[in-house]
Structure formats: C-alpha cells, structure tokens
Amino acid sequence: MLQVGMFHSLEVINEVPFGFYLDGQDKGQILLPTKNAPLGCKVGDKVHAFIYHDSDDRIIATTKRPKVCVDHCAYLKVVSISKVGVFVDWGLEKDLLVPYSEQAYPMSEGLSYVVYVFCDEETGRLAASTRLSDFLYEESSEEGGTFEPKQEVELLICGKTDMGYKAIINGSHLGLLFRDEVFKPIKIGHSMKGYIKSIREDGKINLCFQFHDPSARNTLEEQIIEDLIAHDGLSTLTDKSAADEIAKRFNVSKNAYKKALGSLYKQKRILLDKSKITLVENK
C-alpha cells in the first residue's frame, strides 16, 4: 500500500504536456510535474518519488527531498500563521501545517520548533505536532525499542526544563539530560550522539554525553598530565574553573574533570590549590 509522506519507487505510465503520471497503485495515477521530474524521464521508467498533497489537496509526487518524512521528527521554522494553525518550511513547495490543536504551546512566525510529522487518519493528509509525548515513547520497555545503560544513541534536543534538556532518542523515545551532564553548549534542534545513562524504576530514560567509568577517567588523567607537560608543569584550570572552560579544553563535564584531578592527587602526580595545578616531578 502506498503511504503518503514517504518515498516510493513508482513506474511512469503516461506523459502529458505538464508532467508524467505515475502508477500510484491503490492511490491511482499520481502526477509528477515536469519541474520535479528527473532529466530524461520517460514512460516505463521507475522514479524514486516522495508522495504528498499539493495546495489543492491532490496527491502529487516530487523527486525533491523534504527535510522530514512521515513518522519522524525535525526542527522546522514557522513561515506563516493562518486561522487553522501555523505553517512550517519542510523543504517542499507546499508548507506543512501544525494545527492549533497540535501545538503544545503557541508557536511564533520566524522561530523554529521540533515537530513530529504524522498522517491524519480522517483526512489522509500530512500534518505536524509539537505534542511529542503523544507520538513518542517515554519508557524504555514500551514498544519501539528497549535500551540498555551505556548504549550509544542519536539525540535530537527538543525541549528545556528546570532539570535539564529533553531529547528524542533514535527518533522513537523521549529522555532527559540532567543539567550537570551538559558540559558543552547545546540548543533545541541540535542533533548529536549521546548515551543511555540509566533506566529509572518507572521506565523513564536518563541520558548523558559521557560515561565516567574507570577507563574513561584514566584516559582523561593522561590528557591532563600531557597538558601540564605542554605548559611547563602548571595549569590554572582547576576544579574551581567554569564548566565551559573545562569542556573547551578537555571536552568533558566538570564532574569528570574533578574526579580525574582527585585521582591524580591521590597518586601524588599533581599538587592542587585554589588557583593552579602543579605537576609533581619524578625524581
């Protein structure tokens, strides 16, 4: 069955002055306008085309690639506001509607938001929503995937709370990055790699950017020693330094840096005071 909002490989069955008709199977013949057709297109060819509704609500095809397909999330900009909702730019000629009923909060023209694209069951047309929890799983054990601690995942930052940042995990689940796990500048709409930190008793998912296991800390310890050697055995980057300064030099959280310094101090490889770190010379 042909699904609106996805790419399909369809056969060209007729050529007309304004384009080509594709075999849309259960959807009938679907127009592929000349301007959106591949160069040299002819009857009998197979065309990889995206299917959606045009401004007249007719099913139409294009070889252009939208910024997002159905049942996926993306960070899209609001380009206009109407009586029925706002329209976001998703890379095609007809902008994508976010109905007022699908807005978790008021959306403003010129700003961008993370939205989920879905197919309306009643109309068969595509729309988008910022009510992400209505479409994504919030517990690891729910259908769509089970996660394990230390598992690497793809994250899309989608919101900010008093505790930290909400993120979409592998396009299917929602998780939380606590504020003390964020050691580098991030913004809503950023895509990046991360890790499953833990699964809470209620099934909710905690995330992190780095694991503070012994092997990782040992590697960081050696980086700190190498940095001290390169700077004549002295560094002003102490455990009192700002988190962003630590992240800029070592790409780790302040907590991880403090643990590594503590380990080096116990090993008597460094001396610590409020203003500097000093490398202990081996005699």
* Rounded CA separation 22/37 (Å): 11
| CATH architecture of structural domain 7-62 | Beta Barrel (2.40)
**Structural domain boundaries in the chain:** 7-62, 73-134, 152-208, 214-279
Tokens of 109: 């023209």
Task: State yes or no: pLDDT of 216 exceeds 70.
Answer: no
In percent, the amount of the chain with pLDDT more than 90 equals 55
Higher-confidence residue of 242 and 131: namely: 131
**Average pLDDT in the 150-177 region?**
94
**Beta-strand pair 173-178/205-208:** parallel
**pLDDT score at 211:** 65
Q: How far is CA 105 from CA 98, 110, 135, 211, 227, in A?
A: 11, 15, 16, 34, 47
Q: With a threshold of 0.85, does the pTM exceed it?
A: no
User: Considering the domain 73-134 in this protein, what is its CATH number?
Assistant: 2.40.50.140
Q: What H or E segment, with its residue span, contains residue 225?
A: helix 214-230
Mean pLDDT, the chain, whole residue set: 89
Considering the domain delimited by 214-279, tell me its CATH architecture. Answer: Orthogonal Bundle (1.10)
Instruction: Give the per-residue pLDDT at 213.
Output: 55
pLDDT tops 90 at residue 22? yes
Enumerate the β-bridge partners of residue 160.
165
Q: Which long-range contacts (CB under 8 A, 24 or more apart) does 227-230 make?
A: 228/270, 228/277, 228/278, 228/279, 229/279
Average pLDDT (185-195) is 91
Do the domains 152-208 and 7-62 match in fold? Answer: yes
Please give the average per-residue pLDDT across 239-259, as a whole number.
83
pLDDT at residue 214, rounded to an integer: 53
CATH class of 152-208: mainly beta
DSSP 3-state of 107: coil
Instruction: Quick: pLDDT tens for 194-207.
Output: 999 999 888 899 99
Q: Which amino acid is at 179?
A: R
